[in-house]
Structure 1
Amino acid sequence: MGDSGLLSLPKGRPAWVVASALALVAALGVATAWRRRRARRALVRVGTVSGLFIYPVKSCRGVAVKQAEMTPLGLACGDLRDRHWLVIKEDGHKVTAREEPRMVLISLTCENGYLTLSAPEMKDLHVPAKLSPENPVQNCRVFGFDIQGRDCGEEAAQWITAFLNSHPYRLVHFELNMVPRNSKDIMEPFQPSDKIAYPDCSPVMVLSETSVEELNSRLEKEVQIRNFRPNIVVTGCGPHEEDTWDELVIGSAKMKSVMACPRCILTTVDPDTGIMDRKEPLDTLKSYRQCDPSEQHIYRSHPLFGWYFGVAKTGTLQVGDPVYKIIG
């Protein structure tokens, strides 16, 4: 045996033979180390998916689905894609339920290539999921960053404007050939690969049922999971256990933990009435869900509730799927 303990090399061999043998030894060592690292990494079940939600129009009511595709830009189900439609002012600036709380009363369905918007005392609005290329492309402004959207037409604009009854608004659609926003430009902890259409900053938000239950135990008037607009709801874990999950595997999709979800006044909008309370549950969350002082440059005074994830691997997931965290 030579010094490597793996190969002995007869004297007098050409230099290229020696070099090849040494390269083989190195490759074997790398492969062995890789296998050992893989062996140390394991899947541990931490819960079960109890709900999947897509919010096609930003700030409007979510759509509960049984199965979804995890795309690079978040959840999708058929023509429904998460936060791929946006209400804007005539100058292109985004409009959300922070400014127009009654947006949460607009519900959506999708069938036969049409997105149907419904709202109290309004006739249904039918918008093609795929718009004509003759519809103009609008330059939009979302949290200080530019992004495009194809205008959904005059009928949609009049419908949104009539329901909200405050300012002239338009509806636009992000198409997959358009350039998405970079999550990292908005919040530093994200990776350069994390991309979004019209969400605040993250392609995926995960929340556990028990986190909401613990919050409700502190409130005089209980709130719903819908107040927090998660994409993936998990049951079978402890309160705020989602804070500790680094990498998740659900179905054939894989996600990478990024940061906590900082909460704002939108959580105080009642999803059934569209009335903004401005106090709860935000005030109670501030009493026990503040960040560590070392992270105030990221979260400032926002309380933390739920967790943002980036998309590490696209795939399919469904309600009832086990949720695994990767350890090792």
Structure 2
Amino acid sequence: MGASFGRVPGQLQSTWLGVAAAAGLATVALGTMAWRHARPRRHQRLQQVGTVAQLWIYPIKSCKGVSVSEAECTAMGLRCGHLRDRFWLVINEEGNMVTARQEPRMVLISLTCEDDILTLSAAYTKDLLLPITPPATNPLLQCRVHGLEVQGRDCGEDAAQWVSSFLKTQSCRLVHFEPHMRPRNSQQMRAEFGPTDQVAYSDASPYLVLSEASLEDLNSRLERRVKATNFRPNIVISGCGAYAEDSWNELLIGDVELRRVMACTRCLLTTVDPDTGSTDKKEPLETLKSYRLCDPSEQALYGKLPLFGQYFALENPGMVKVGDPVYLLSQ
């Protein structure tokens, strides 16, 4: 090309250079647009800060978690096969969410999936088998999660009776979030989230990250130990210091990039024993209040609730596995 370039007349040469420059600018623009999903690693320093120790999906909000060895990170949370994080919800007759804050025994209900069948299980209760996808003839219900409207497909009378019979306190229904439904916008609950951060039935964030060291530090202060599942994290990290997750702004796990949004405030749900469904409504919450309150400058954001674990949002999707190294991204 160098030999022929010299024979191009001046006007054509200027035109050619203009086209080339425009093409170059277009390439830069496209590269900028793709930055969110394909950031060049060579321009970033990677510092390993830990290892993925546990992955948890909580199919029904407030019910038992499912430990998985690998999962897909989607914009709306972890997915493993047909199991998705907080894509099922228990509601009362008015359509309001029912959680373990009001019904502690909910933590004993599990939802698992094999082939095309969902199984609802709980201690001393006969399993209930359901189709993975509720029939399209089942009604769409308007539900409310923390005051925000969101749809759910009713899972049928058998599911409603099973859940209500187990809880024994009120009439409940089970609903499922479907792909065509409009998610809740996280920013409507917490202004710190981005305009595209969305969830189905989670409180606000698609990802909660907690370190084993933070949990161990808390347990060293308690008379009775608690588990990670008291705090319902999605990703538990080992090999770091206590509360190291508080300062991780951007994480890389395989191809997955996660952006820290804010700390997670803790409520009465942490006092529910995930193995028994009982609660004393005190610990570990009272101990956390003794040393994990926010800085006074952040009280407008967090109030007087203790902080434990960090909320993250997805920047780049992919698969994560137990044993994956966790890197801190820094420019």
Name the TM-score, length of structure 2 as normaliser.
Answer: 0.89
For 2:319, the equivalent position in structure 1 comes to 316
Is 1:283 the counterpart of 2:286 in the alignment? yes
3-state SS, counterpart of residue 124 of structure 1: strand
Structure 2: how far apart are the matches of 1:162 and 1:72?
Answer: 34
For 1:325, the equivalent position in structure 2 comes to 328
Give the partner amino acid of 1:216.
N
Give the partner amino acid of 1:194.
D
Structure 2: how far apart are the matches of 1:113 and 1:245?
Answer: 39
| Cα distance per residue 1:108-162 (max 9 Å; x no partner) | 3210212211112210011211111001000000001000000000000000000
* Cα distance change on mapping 1:291 and 1:18 into 2, 3 Å: farther
Structure 1: how far apart are the matches of 2:75 and 2:131?
Answer: 23
Give the alignment of 1:215-234 within 5 angstroms: 215-234=218-237
Structure 2: how far apart are the matches of 1:292 and 1:326?
Answer: 26
3-state SS, counterpart of residue 125 of structure 2: coil
Give % identity: 56
Say which of 36, 44, 49 aligns to 1:46.
Answer: 49
3-state SS, counterpart of residue 254 of structure 1: strand
Say which of 260, 264, 267 aligns to 2:263.
Answer: 260
Is 1:102 the counterpart of 2:105 in the alignment? yes
State the 1:251 CA deviation.
Answer: 2.1
For 1:137, the equivalent position in structure 2 comes to 140
Name the TM-score, length of structure 1 as normaliser.
Answer: 0.90
Give the partner amino acid of 2:163.
I
For 2:114, the equivalent position in structure 1 comes to 111
The answer (yes or no) to whether the contact 2:198–2:206 under 8 Å persists in 1 is: yes
The answer (yes or no) to whether the contact 1:270–1:277 under 8 Å persists in 2 is: no
Is 1:207 the counterpart of 2:210 in the alignment? yes
State the 1:20 CA deviation.
Answer: 4.5
For 1:170, the equivalent position in structure 2 comes to 173
For 1:17, the equivalent position in structure 2 comes to 14
Structure 2: how far apart are the matches of 1:246 and 1:301?
Answer: 23
State the 1:24 CA deviation.
Answer: 4.4
For 1:299, the equivalent position in structure 2 comes to 302
State the 1:16 CA deviation.
Answer: 8.7
State the 1:260 CA deviation.
Answer: 0.5
For 1:90, the equivalent position in structure 2 comes to 93
Say which of 120, 125, 130 aligns to 2:123.
Answer: 120
Structure 1: how far apart are the matches of 2:127 and 2:48?
Answer: 43
User: Alignment RMSD, CA only?
Assistant: 2.5
* Runs of at least 5 residues in structure 1 that lack an aligned partner in the other structure: 1-11
State the 1:14 CA deviation.
Answer: 5.5
Give the partner amino acid of 1:103.
M
State the 1:295 CA deviation.
Answer: 1.4
State the 1:13 CA deviation.
Answer: 5.9
For 1:72, the equivalent position in structure 2 comes to 75
State the 1:249 CA deviation.
Answer: 1.1
State the 1:42 CA deviation.
Answer: 1.6
State the 1:252 CA deviation.
Answer: 2.1
State the 1:21 CA deviation.
Answer: 6.8
The answer (yes or no) to whether the contact 2:134–2:156 under 8 Å persists in 1 is: no
Structure 2: how far apart are the matches of 1:317 and 1:207?
Answer: 15
* Runs of at least 5 residues in structure 2 that lack an aligned partner in the other structure: 1-8, 33-39
Structure 1: how far apart are the matches of 2:255 and 2:120?
Answer: 31
The answer (yes or no) to whether the contact 1:105–1:273 under 8 Å persists in 2 is: yes
For 2:185, the equivalent position in structure 1 comes to 182
Structure 2: how far apart are the matches of 1:157 and 1:227?
Answer: 26
State the 1:17 CA deviation.
Answer: 2.7
State the 1:220 CA deviation.
Answer: 1.0
For 1:7, the equivalent position in structure 2 comes to none
Aligned length: 316
